[in-house]
Structure 1
Amino acid sequence: MSDQHQSSLPGFLGVIDRTISRIESVLLALGVLLMAANTIANVIGRFVLGDSIFFSEELNRILVILITFAGISYAARHGRHIRMSAIYDGLSPRYRKILMVLISLVTAGFLFLLCYYSFNYIEKQAARGRVLPALQIPVWTILVWVPIGFFMTGTQYLLSAIKNMTSPDIYLSTQVQDGYEEDEIEV
């Protein structure tokens, strides 16, 4: 198993963490590669053959949604979301740990709520029966990545809270320990 898919969580939680990591990796890699291939093929078609691929724009829209919502989970896993840390950095380690658990739990709660709302939105879109003009696939099918991404990201934050509750150290995510790199510290 590669280091990329290792988990520092024990047992079943580690299995969940590794599974989400694999899903993120596959979705992001496939999404980016397919978008690049589609865009290159469309450019070649337009400028060499004189005709664009009729569904290229719709396919890229689908891939942008996929990459965006798989990417938020990936960013959470690697502790890469934007943080406002002025107050947090001024706290003692004990209070930083408490705040990190609270932040992780509240964020997970909001993400699960967004997952619920996005699922309801997809149900409404499915009831409307709209289809994409070129690909002729139902619009709701391209939106399935939204609740999946919110759920995976919410799970990442929940696992981060558990990691912080069970570890003596402070973690931004299940894989990233709190602290600054030497090059991030301005003297």
Structure 2
Amino acid sequence: MSDQTQSNLPGFLGVIDQAISRIESALLAIGVLLMAANTIANVVGRFVLGNSIFFSEELNRILIILITFAGISYAARHGRHIRMSAIYDGLSPGYRKILMILISLVTAIFLFLLCYYSINYIETQASRGRVLPALQIPVWVILVWVPVGFFMTGTQYLLTAIKNLTAPDIYLSTHMLEGYEEDEIEV
């Protein structure tokens, strides 16, 4: 298996990690391909046939939400979120490991809270009964990706904390060791 789907976490945690990886990859690939196809079709329709696709903007809005919230989980998996590491980098490895566990746990808690609040927001939107003008889809349906993304990202950070508690090295994500690439280090 590729490193995208092969987890280095043991047992059930590895199964969860692999499932999230596959879901992220599928959502991102499908979302980006659909957005590209929709945009190309709309441009061709507008300039070649003289008519735009009436639902193109709404579809792209849905896909942007999907890609954004699947993407935050993907970025967490690959240790690609922006980090402010001036203090962190100055610490000894033992303290860096403790801080990484703490950062991962606090981030996971906040993301799970955001998941909870976004579910409440979706319930509020559902009670209003609003629909998208062109597609006639209830507005709350397009927001489902928000709590899904928060939950998957929170799970990634929780798994990162567990990985750091069980492994001797320091991990930015479940399979990304801390450190800098050679081209990131200035001489």
Normalising to structure 1: TM-score of the pair? 0.99
> Counterpart of 1:28?
28
> Counterpart of 2:131?
131
Q: CA deviation at 1:182?
A: 1.1
- The list of structure 1 runs, each at least 4 consecutive aligned residues, that deviate by more than 3 angstroms after superposition, is none
CA distance in 2, matches of 1:159, 1:4: 15
> Counterpart of 2:112?
112
CA distance in 2, matches of 1:45, 1:95: 58
> Counterpart of 1:84?
84
Q: CA deviation at 1:124?
A: 0.3
Considering only aligned residues, what root-mean-square deviation do their CA atoms show, in Å? 0.5
> Counterpart of 1:163?
163
CA distance in 2, matches of 1:31, 1:175: 25
List per-residue Cα deviations over 1:19-46 (Å, max 9, x = no partner).
0000000000000000000000000000
> Counterpart of 1:12?
12
SS for the counterpart of 1:172 is strand
Mapping 1:50-69, distance limit 5 Å: 50-69=50-69
Equivalent AA in structure 1 for residue 15 of structure 2: V
Equivalent AA in structure 2 for residue 27 of structure 1: L
CA distance in 2, matches of 1:93, 1:29: 37
Q: CA deviation at 1:2?
A: 2.5
Normalising to structure 2: TM-score of the pair? 0.99
Equivalent AA in structure 1 for residue 45 of structure 2: G
Q: CA deviation at 1:4?
A: 1.5
CA distance in 2, matches of 1:72, 1:29: 14
Q: How many aligned positions are there?
A: 187
Equivalent AA in structure 1 for residue 184 of structure 2: E
Q: Say whether 1:176 aligns with 2:176.
A: yes
Equivalent AA in structure 1 for residue 67 of structure 2: I
CA distance in 2, matches of 1:39, 1:175: 35
Q: CA deviation at 1:143?
A: 0.1
CA distance in 2, matches of 1:68, 1:75: 10
List per-residue Cα deviations over 1:36-63 (Å, max 9, x = no partner).
0000000000000000000000000000
